[in-house]
Amino acid sequence: MTQKDDPIIPLYRESFPDFARLVHRMGGTLEQAKDCFHDALLIYLEREKAGKLEIRSSPKAYLLGTARICWLRTLKNEPTIPLPEGLETPDQTDSNEEEREITLLKSLQKSGRKCLELLKAFYYDHCSMKDIAERFGFNGNRSATVQKYKCLEKVREEIKTMESYAK
């Protein structure tokens, strides 16, 4: 897929100017409008991929409604994208925790990009094991399942190693 063929482009083109107008009317900047709109797109796509998108009128209305909520949360200085149940930490606003996670992620992106891509295909794109096997060249569903857990284990062990060095 080239950039020009990205399936999100028509929805972006149709919706962003309306949202930018709203943000501007409420005293916001173009950068703030983009940030919130991109948060809303993330939520929209995440729900769509998980089969949890319940559109009552149109994709544009849904996206604009979500973006509006994100903008109002930004004004109140609240986090815009909640974590799924089970992945929360006791204090999500801790900035040291945030910094630690960013450092860990940078290290993981250097050492295990292929694993991160595989885990993304599984947890975010909700690809079937058959699709994952084809896309990543594994020898069947079972091999893809084993590789998924090996990757998760690898990420987990790297985290434990990095954290023990940091102590």
With CB under 8 A as the contact rule, which of the stretches 10-18, 53-61, 70-78, 129-137 interacts with another protein?
10-18
Structure tokens at 85: 């149940």
Rounded least distance, CB 91 to another protein, Å: 13
Rounded least distance, CB 83 to another protein, Å: 7
For another protein, which residue of 79, 82, 102, 134 counts as binding (CB under 8 A)?
102
Rounded least distance, CB 120 to another protein, Å: 5
Q: Which is nearer to another protein, 113 or 130 (CB)?
A: 113
Q: Name residues contacting another protein, limited to 29-88 (CB under 8 A).
A: 29-30, 34, 37-38, 41-42, 45, 81, 83-87
Rounded least distance, CB 127 to another protein, Å: 13
C-alpha distances in Å from residue 48, one per residue of 63, 77, 86, 93, 126: 11, 26, 21, 27, 10
With CB under 8 A as the contact rule, which of the stretches 8-16, 53-61, 63-71, 130-138 interacts with another protein?
8-16
Contact between 129 and another protein by CB under 8 A: the answer reads no
